[in-house]
Amino acid sequence: MIEVEARDGAARAGKVVTARGCFSTPCFMPVGSRGVVRLLSAADLETLAPEVVLANTYHLMLRPGAEVVAAMGGLHGFTGWAGHFLTDSGGYQVMSLPCAVDDQGVTFRSSYDGSWQRLTPEGAVAVQELLGADVQMALDVCTELPASRGALELAGERTIAWAERARGAHHRSGQQLFGIVQGGSEPDLREKYARRMAEIGFDGYAIGGLSVGETRPELMMALAATLPHLPEDRPRYLMGVGDPATVLAAVALGVDMFDCVLPTRLARHGTALTSLGKLAVKAAACSTDSSPLDPSCPCPVCQRHSRAYLRHLFNVKEPSAGRLVSLHNLMWLEGLMARARRSVLDGRLSELREQVELVWSRQAREAVRLRSWGPGEPLG
């Protein structure tokens, strides 16, 4: 259930009520696939204070095993993080591996030891009940794009059938269950499967199968076709999207929750998110730069460390480099979500969107220009 506190057009600021308490929206969920956000500790999470952390069913069922996590007090006891957890179903990871999908479930080869494993809608529910997250996701069939209409319809029908089975198998009290809408970039399929998923009845609804090869206009068109057909009193979660401009555009359409590996993956490779766009920390220009990653960022990394120091850490392959930039990137993105929430409350989301779009679209154009520049041609 979501309690909507304010609206700005279709955008909304609210609170999602859970057995653990509540969390504010719109929100971004850092990805902690194996029960940890890469390079960060539970103490770092307390500094970061995300509304929700996402963990991955596929990884945890294989290592260390859901029974081990359950015996240690579930994800909260096992990890030492007392805040909200959401577990995805593992469907996206499974579909990206050698696998065979049938009407009953999916057989796949483990990326850990090569063994063959089986996951069904009921099995995914059982694993996530053992993991003990506050929110679990129904198993879905995620299809990479572009895909034929026939493939999208088959995935959509199986996802609906599996959602019905997941709904019937879910019994853990205090744990919410979200359904996932598929349909690729076809607006009519998105509408159809959104309506049918809503008829089953879930505690919340995710929009899956996007950010898997489609263009941004196609993504936004699919979202626009989906959201009007999901219940107003349930949270809406766009899976796998973390680009700042796309996140704010989705907030404007009525999305409440997001997750993505983008901020931490960029950080490990030496890229920081800033109010002026992406910053290549490893670049020579940072070697004597005493300024922080983002002068407007209040995070502890920006308050203490210079670009020159962080570049040095990357150059000497010091592991703390990725950790520090990961912490900055996540705090920067969490700060953007807080600004988005305030903007909705104040009825000024469009102003924030324009500011962010201007920066990130300019960077995208510059990246295209650099890629198109050939040897011997003047740059500038």
Q: What is the pLDDT of residues 237-251, one digit of tens each?
A: 999 999 999 999 999
Q: Please provide the average confidence, as pLDDT, over all residues in the chain.
A: 95
Residues 69 and 103 both lie in one domain:
yes
Tokens of 29: 């969920």
Q: Supply the pLDDT for residue 368.
A: 55
Any domain includes 378: no
Based on the structure, what is the number of domains in the chain? 2
- The active-site residue, picked from 44, 88, 134, 203, is 88
User: Of 260, 278, 308, which residue constitutes the final position of a domain?
Assistant: 260
Task: Quickly count: other Cβ atoms within 10 Å of residue 270's Cβ.
Answer: 20
Residue 355 and residue 252 share a domain: no
Of 216, 237, 260, the last residue of a domain is 260
Contact 37/49 with Cβ under 8 angstroms?
no
Same structural domain for residues 248 and 271?
no
Dihedral sign (CA 105, 108, 110, 111): negative
Phi and psi at 223, nearest 5°, equal -60, -45
pLDDT score for 366: 65
Q: Mark whether 177 and 321 lie in a shared domain.
A: no
* Residue 360 lies inside a defined structural domain of this protein: yes
Q: Indicate if 96 and 76 belong to the same structural domain.
A: yes
Same domain (yes/no): 8, 103: yes
Q: Does residue 148 sit in the same domain as residue 85?
A: yes
Q: How far is CA 315 from the centre of its chain?
A: 30
- pLDDT tens, position by position, 86-139: 999 999 999 889 999 999 999 999 999 999 999 999 999 999 999 999 999 999
- Dig out the tokens for 354 from the structure: 């324009």
Who's near 55: CB < 8 A, 6+ residues apart? 32, 33, 34, 35, 75, 85, 86, 87, 88, 131, 133
The one-letter amino acid code at 376 reads G
Q: Find residue 271's DSSP bridge partners.
A: 280
- Maximum pairwise Cα distance, the chain: 66
Residue that finishes a domain, picked among 229, 260, 291: 260
CATH, residue 14:
3.20.20.105
Q: What is the pLDDT of residues 205-233, one digit of tens each?
A: 999 999 998 999 999 999 999 999 999 99
Q: Which of 134, 140, 256, 259 is catalytic?
A: 259
Residue 92 and residue 40 share a domain: yes
Q: Which ranges of the chain have pLDDT less than 70? A: 364-380
The per-residue pLDDT for 362 is 80
User: Rounded CA gap, 228 and 191, in Å?
Assistant: 8
Same domain, 96 and 160: yes
Compute the C-alpha angle 319/47/274, nearest 5°. 70
54 and 32 Cβ atoms separated by less than 8 Å: yes
Asked if residue 376 belongs to a domain, the reply is no
Q: Are residues 240 and 337 in the same domain?
A: no
The domain in which residue 276 lies consists of 267-370
259 is catalytic: yes
Residues 30 and 67 grouped into a single domain: yes
